[in-house]
Chain A
Amino acid sequence: MIELILPAVASCIIAFFVVFLMTPPLIKFLGKRNLAVKDVNKKEDVMVVRPGGPSIIVGIIASEIVLYAFLQLNEILAIIITTSAAFVIGYIDDRKVMGGWFKPVALAFAAIPIIALGAYDSNLAFPLFGTVQIPVLYLALIVFMIPITGNTINSIDVLNGVASGFMVIASFSLSICLFIVQNYEIAIVSLPLGFVSLAFYKYHKVPSKIFPGDSGALTFGAMYGTIAIVGGVEILAAIVLLPAVINSFLFLSSVKRIVEHRQVKGKPVEHTDDFLLKATDDKTAPVTLVRLILAGGPLSEKQVGFTIFKLAIFSGILAIITAFMMTGVSL
Chain B
Amino acid sequence: MKFGLFGFLFGMWILILVGGGIVVTILGPISVSGFGEFDLFIGSIIKAVVAIILVVIWILILSKLKNLIFKKEIKS
- Residues of A whose CB lies within 8 Å of any CB of B are 124, 126-137, 140, 235, 238-239, 242-243, 245-246, 249-250, 253, 279, 281, 287, 289, 291-293, 295-296, 307, 310-311, 314-315, 318, 322, 331
Cβ contact within 8 Å between B12 and A132:
no
Binary contact readout B1-38 vs A (1 if CB under 8 angstroms, 0 otherwise): 11011101110110011001101110110000000000
B40 pairs with A322, CB closer than 8 A: no
B44 touching A134 by the CB < 8 A rule? yes
Q: How far is the CA of A242 from the CA of B16 in the complex (A)?
A: 11
Knowing A242-B12, A296-B2, A307-B2 touch, does A137 contact B25 (C-beta < 8 A)? no
Assess whether B17 is in contact with A137, with CB atoms less than 8 Å apart.
Answer: no
Interface residue total, chain B, C-beta cutoff 8 A:
34
Q: Other CB < 8 Å A-B pairs besides A133-B28, A135-B44, A311-B6, 20 of them? A: A126-B20, A129-B21, A131-B24, A134-B51, A136-B40, A137-B51, A243-B9, A249-B59, A249-B66, A250-B66, A253-B66, A281-B76, A287-B73, A289-B5, A292-B4, A295-B72, A295-B76, A296-B2, A307-B2, A331-B21
Are the CB atoms of B9 and A242 closer together than 8 Å? yes
Distance from B44 Cβ to chain A, minimum over Cβ atoms (Å) = 3
Q: Which secondary structure dominates chain B's binding surface? A: helix
Q: Which residues of B contact A296 (CB under 8 A)?
A: 1-2
CB neighbours of B16 from chain A (8 A) = 235, 238-239
Q: Contact check: which of B1, B21, B59 meets A126 at CB < 8 Å?
A: B21
Least CB distance from A245 to B in Å reads: 8
The 5 nearest A-B residue pairs measured at CB: A126-B20, A136-B44, A296-B1, A295-B73, A129-B24
Chain B residues in 8 Å Cβ range of A137: 44, 47-48, 51
Q: B5 contacts which chain A residues (CB < 8 A)?
A: 243, 246, 289, 292-293, 311
Taken together as a complex, chains A and B put the C-alpha atoms of A42 and B11 apart, in Å, by 35
Find the A residue at minimum CB distance from B8: A246
With a cutoff of 8 Å between Cβ atoms, the chain A residues found around residue B20 in the complex are 126-129, 235
Assess whether A140 is in contact with B21, with CB atoms less than 8 Å apart: no
How long is the Cα–Cα vector from A127 to B21 in the complex, in angstroms? 8
A185 to B44 alpha-carbon distance, docked (Å): 31
17 residue pairs A–B, Cβ–Cβ below 8 Å: A127-B17, A132-B23, A132-B24, A132-B27, A134-B27, A137-B44, A137-B47, A137-B48, A238-B16, A242-B13, A249-B62, A287-B73, A292-B73, A295-B1, A311-B6, A322-B13, A331-B21
Q: Mark B48-76, 1 if CB is under 8 A from A, else 0.
A: 10010000000100110010001011101
CA distance A150 to B23 in the complex (A): 25
